[in-house]
Structure 1
Amino acid sequence: MAEDQYDIAIVGAGIVGLAHALAAARAGLRAVVIDRDAQVNGASIRNFGFVTVTGQENGAPWRRARRSRDVWAEVAPQAGIPIEHTGLAMVAQRREALAVLEAFMATDMAEGCELLEGAAARARLGEVRPRDLAGALFSGIDLRVESRTAIPRLAAWLTECHNVTFRRGVAVNAVESARVTTSAGSIAAGTIIVCPGDDLATLFPDALARAGVTRCKLQMLRLADPGFRLPSAVMSDLGLVRYRGYAALPAAAALSARLEAEQGDHLANGVHLIVAQNADGSLIVGDSHHYAATPDPFGSSEVDALILDEFAAVFGLVPPVLERWTGTYASASGHSLVETPMDGVRLVVVTSGTGASTAFALAEEVIGGIINIQLGASV
């Protein structure tokens, strides 16, 4: 039986794989995406769908987030993906948090942001009514899609408009230069991109182990419609010591010390608050962070209570919980892992939990580098 042949084969149909498929198609390459699941099921849909620019680590992660946000804004209407809302309200509950935001506003990363204090901040927040409020940063740059529908629609659009082939329910058993061996036969491709997500054992486990990649488990909830519309996504003080764009600022040290004294259990469980709203009014709320090579699959009611405690501190009420779930993603120091384990093969893993926010730009870099190599070889 003759092998199927493509210019590029992409292993993994999460957002990182789809981003590479888009970049490849735009470069004129015939692409196939292979995934062991019948439908998207992993970290790419177990999240907020929040394309976060504000607060990303300074340097390459922030630049990638800015570019990826622009790609989302471009492709979403073409693919029939609604933008649920735009912007971010970063609520400063403490004076130390306000100091972090003031320091942030002095950086280049604050483009498109506005910092308000006291009554002006409270008026802009509307129905978001923190018990304590020193001020709030408002950004109009960030945006949100509903991951559960956006990722499938993005894949369908790639097929319909960019001729990307998908092979679902197909396990990849081995990868070598110019060939992928699968449970449904082999596929030949000039370039192979392996985007394994948090599968750390099947393909190139030694490379992943050398990079110190492990798994992060998170807990999230969906709450009932509170009866009002959010002005944007909402975050709080806990996010200021977790997102590197804020946490790396010297001013964050005082906030970190105060949070350790007042909310030590939240920090110990990696809890910070992100709240985003769906078109039906329900709220996506999270999350927590626990690290292990194989995290247990069980959600903790104590951790959920910590998340909802922070929600109540910012919103003043807690609507009924409609859903609870856990998710896992690949985690290591730094934004991402990009390696060449063999000729014509790239291993690409976003290790910072920011796939939705940065994958489009990272994929453009990877595909651009491959094309430049190919062009150099043909000269």
Structure 2
Amino acid sequence: MAEDFDLAVVGGGILGLAHALAGARSGRRVVVIDRDARANGASVRMSGLVSVAGHPTGAAARRARRSREIWGEVCAHAGVRVDHEGLAIVARRPEAASVLAAYAATEPAPGCVFYAPEDAHALFPQFRGDIAGVFWSPDEIRVEAKSALPKIAAWLEDAHGVAFRWETAVSAIGDGALATSQGPVRAKCAVVCPGDDLRSLFGDRLSSLGLTRAKSQMMRVRYDESFELPGAVSTDLSAVRMPALQDAEGADALRARLEAEQPEHLQHGVVLLASQSADGSLVVGASRTLDATPDPFLLQTIDDLILDELAAVFGKRPKHVVSRWSGTYAFSADRPVVVEAPEENVRVVVAASGFGASAAFAVAEETVAELLGACAA
């Protein structure tokens, strides 16, 4: 006999859990269905950083701020440790310093500031060598995603009555029901969060949107000496790719210098993002290779490019690479979040960038409010 729910969410990654929370907070009976035994996609393979700075003014910036607010609530209630707060973007070149200083002056978020070299060295002694300054945003948080998502799922189940159906594949949605490998599930509304599976549910709709897939190489490393990062750490390579800075005055000059000095990094989509875990190790990445079917192979060449950038900031490479892995995610050059309505009572939501965790909770609030309104009409 089919179970009855108000909202079914297909996908147990952070975007799916965010929609489950939004549905539960609206007083609805919610079920989350996932084909795996636990979240195993980009949500647990990326850095775990929830970013606030760098999003374009408007909807993207509002979503980032709102999501960060909800992340704070969720972490507190679900027992999720926040490993550190803040983001330091180390300007290795004067061109980067110019762009970042101008951005900080626009007050993209309260508390953002750009520190000139002398102050930067005093405040951030971990950063070695010649630097042109440091941009600091206090609002970012970093969680250990692999352990955070199971805790959030357990909290949703225990505190909000969300039902979970793991190891259950959904093959079709229609007429108020979901056909699954464990039997039918009835739901008035459904949200599909497919991650980078762009060919299964509503694949015909997704194939028309110009989406592709991105592969990213990541590592966990450890230095012999112990030191504490001030927050997440990034560099010029990330600054030039931040949406809010791509068209800023001076961005072209920075991009031109990077193309002259680090062409291989740009070719492989390498940026530096280093975050620290509770045990002192660093999660570092990342690269970006676009391919409809990303291969599973890790290239030492790309790892070396990431480690070279890490060494440029901290003065030397780490002695130990503890583990290496790759993650894949959906990608669109112009739509960081895709929300489609293939049916009146169904929404398909895709985080089509590397900022899924940063927008998830706000996007879910918006989508669930609109969807439940449409279902009730």
TM-score higher than 0.5? yes
* Structure 2: distance between partners of 1:213 and 1:178: 28
5+ residue gaps, structure 1, are none
Point out the more displaced range, 361-370 or 217-226: 217-226
Amino acid at match of 1:59: G
The answer on whether the counterparts of 1:159 and 1:165 sit within 8 Å (CA) in structure 2 is yes
2:327 aligned with 1:327, yes or no?
yes
* Structure 1: distance between partners of 2:36 and 2:295: 21
The answer on whether the counterparts of 2:218 and 2:285 sit within 8 Å (CA) in structure 1 is yes
CA shift for structure 1 position 245: 1.6
* Structure 2: distance between partners of 1:209 and 1:187: 26
2:338 aligned with 1:340, yes or no?
no
CA shift for structure 1 position 368: 1.2
* Structure 1: distance between partners of 2:335 and 2:240: 16
Amino acid at match of 1:178: G
The answer on whether the counterparts of 1:198 and 1:329 sit within 8 Å (CA) in structure 2 is yes
Residue 266 of structure 1 aligns with which residue?
A: 265
* Structure 2: distance between partners of 1:241 and 1:58: 17
2:104 aligned with 1:122, yes or no?
no
Residue 205 of structure 1 aligns with which residue?
A: 203
Q: For this pair of structures, how many residues does the alignment match?
A: 374
Counting aligned pairs with the same residue, the percent is 50
TM, length-normalised to structure 1? 0.97
Matched ranges for 1:298-377 at <5 A:
298-319=297-318, 320-332=320-332, 333-374=334-375, 377=377
* Structure 1: distance between partners of 2:247 and 2:155: 38
2:215 aligned with 1:217, yes or no?
yes
5+ residue gaps, structure 2, are none
* Structure 1: distance between partners of 2:123 and 2:247: 27
Secondary structure of 2:60's partner?
helix
Q: 1:368 to 1:273 in 2, by over 3 A?
A: same
CA shift for structure 1 position 110: 4.1
* Structure 1: distance between partners of 2:203 and 2:126: 48
* Structure 1: distance between partners of 2:48 and 2:141: 8
* Structure 1: distance between partners of 2:218 and 2:11: 24
C-alpha RMSD of the superposition? 1.1
Amino acid at match of 2:170: V
Residue 227 of structure 2 aligns with which residue?
A: 228
* Structure 2: distance between partners of 1:278 and 1:149: 11
Residue 283 of structure 1 aligns with which residue?
A: 282
2:187 aligned with 1:189, yes or no?
yes
The answer on whether the counterparts of 1:97 and 1:255 sit within 8 Å (CA) in structure 2 is yes
* Structure 1: distance between partners of 2:306 and 2:348: 34
CA shift for structure 1 position 343: 2.0
The answer on whether the counterparts of 2:90 and 2:235 sit within 8 Å (CA) in structure 1 is yes
Amino acid at match of 2:328: T
* Structure 2: distance between partners of 1:81 and 1:248: 36
* Structure 1: distance between partners of 2:164 and 2:193: 14
* Structure 2: distance between partners of 1:49 and 1:141: 14
* Structure 2: distance between partners of 1:46 and 1:179: 31
Amino acid at match of 2:317: V
* Structure 1: distance between partners of 2:227 and 2:328: 31
Amino acid at match of 1:66: R
* Structure 2: distance between partners of 1:112 and 1:373: 39
